[in-house]
Each structure stands twice: as C-alpha cells, then as structure tokens.
Amino acid sequence: MVTGPLVEMLARNSKFAQSYQAPPGLVQMASTMRSTGAGVVVISCSDPRLNPYQILGIDPTLKATMVRNAGGRVFDAIRTLAVLQTIGAPGTIVVMHHTDCGMIHWHDADVKEALVEVAPEEKESIEASKFGEITSSLEESIREDIGILRASPLIKKSTQIVGVKYDISTGVLSVVDETKSEL
Ligand SMILES: [Zn+2]
C-alpha cells in the first residue's frame, strides 16, 4: 500500500491526466531532432532545489532533455548520454554543476561508509567505486566532466559541449571558460 507524500502525488496525477494532451510519437520526434541537430541535453544534479526547466526557461518553444544524478557527474551518465545521442542526435550537451551541492559536502568516503553499513557484503565493490565527490572548485569539476565527454569514443566529436555553473543562492548561470585554469 502506498503511503506518505506519494498518495497526494498520485491524486494530483489523476487531475493532470484529465486535461493531458499526448505529444507527437517518439519516432516522429526523433526523426525531426536528428535532421536538425537542435537537440540539447542537460546533465545536472538531482538536488530538488534545482529546477533546470525553470533555470533555462524550458517550455514548449524551447525544449531540452534532462539527465540528472548526484552532482550532475558525467561518468555516471555516459550510458544515457550515448543512448540519447543514438536516438535524437543532440547537437549540444550542457554540463551543469551547482554551488552548495551535496557532492561538495558528502565525499566518497562518507558515501562508502554509509553504503557499507547498508550492504556489508558489498564492501569490496563499494570501496572500489567512485561516487562523484566534488573536492575541487566547481569550475574544475565541470572541466573534468567536459574532458570525460570529449575523450569518450561514444560521444560524437561534432557535439557542442558546454559547462555551466549554477549559483543556487542567486539563480545565476554562468558559462565556465574551458581553457582557463584555476590559480
Ligand atoms: Zn547537487
């Protein structure tokens, strides 16, 4: 039986579905996307305070596809990005990291310790995994992720890859200069 906030969410879905209008079919949409290269994929953090649709003004006239995970880390999203590229051939991938991110506060050692408590039998694989901690400046973590995308054989070399930093205290999004190194 469903309990908690999901009860209300399911009730809201019933209302949502009453006036819902179905979008075009996927094959048709993908064909249009592939022919224009206009697709934009945004990889950003799962943080519920961050709403990439609002941040970028996404609406029916300006579309983007979202990939979200802890920290908005690329290594954790390569499979999805590669699949999306196969389907919609996006011309642009945006890597968005944000200030006050959980991955700045909780490092891999903290995550590992907590996960080993949950699954002690998986200690070895947990210890050997990385979980996306951000221990550098955001500019550096963004550049690191852009580098992973550029080096990936699964990502088309023609893809425009842009790193952006989101300041969660001001709402300001700024493009990170890829070439500038931190002093
Ligand atoms: Zn975050």
Residue 183: pLDDT over 60: no
Distance from the alpha carbon of residue 131 to the mean position of ligand 1, in angstroms: 13
Residue 181: pLDDT over 80: no
Domain 40-105+132-175, classified CATH 3.40.1050.10, yes or no: yes
Instruction: Give the whole-angstrom CA distance, residue 29 versus residue 96.
Output: 25
Query: H or E segment at 50?
Result: none
Is 100 marked within a binding site? no
Residue 64 and residue 40 in contact, taking contact as beta carbons nearer than 8 Å: yes
DSSP per position, 88-140: H--SEEEEEEETT-HHHHS-HHHHHHHHHHH-GGGHHHHHH-------S-HHH
Q: Give burial (CB, 10 Å; 0-12/13-18/19+) of 45.
A: buried
Distance from the alpha carbon of residue 1 to the mean position of ligand 1, in angstroms: 31
Is 105 marked within a binding site? no
What confidence score (pLDDT) does residue 180 get? 66
- Model confidence over 85-106: pLDDT tens digits? 999 999 999 999 999 999 999 9
Is 98 marked within a binding site? yes
- Model confidence over 29-56: pLDDT tens digits? 899 989 998 999 999 999 999 999 999 9
Is 47 marked within a binding site? yes
Distance from the alpha carbon of residue 163 to the mean position of ligand 1, in angstroms: 15
Instruction: Give the whole-angstrom CA distance, residue 1 versus residue 178.
Output: 50
What confidence score (pLDDT) does residue 182 get? 52
Distance from the alpha carbon of residue 49 to the mean position of ligand 1, in angstroms: 9
**In 3D, which of 127, 114, 128, 141 has the Cα closest to residue 45?**
141
Distance from the alpha carbon of residue 166 to the mean position of ligand 1, in angstroms: 10
pLDDT mean across residues, the chain = 95
**Lookup: tokens for 148:** 């992973």
Where does the pLDDT of residue 116 fall: very low under 50, low under 70, confident under 90, or very high at 90 and above? Answer: very high
Phi then psi for 67, rounded to 5 degrees? -120, 130
Residue 102 and residue 68 in contact, taking contact as beta carbons nearer than 8 Å: no
Distance from the alpha carbon of residue 136 to the mean position of ligand 1, in angstroms: 14
Q: Kindly state the average pLDDT of the residues 157-174.
A: 97
What confidence score (pLDDT) does residue 178 get? 80
Question: What is the domain partition of the chain in residue ranges?
Answer: 40-105+132-175
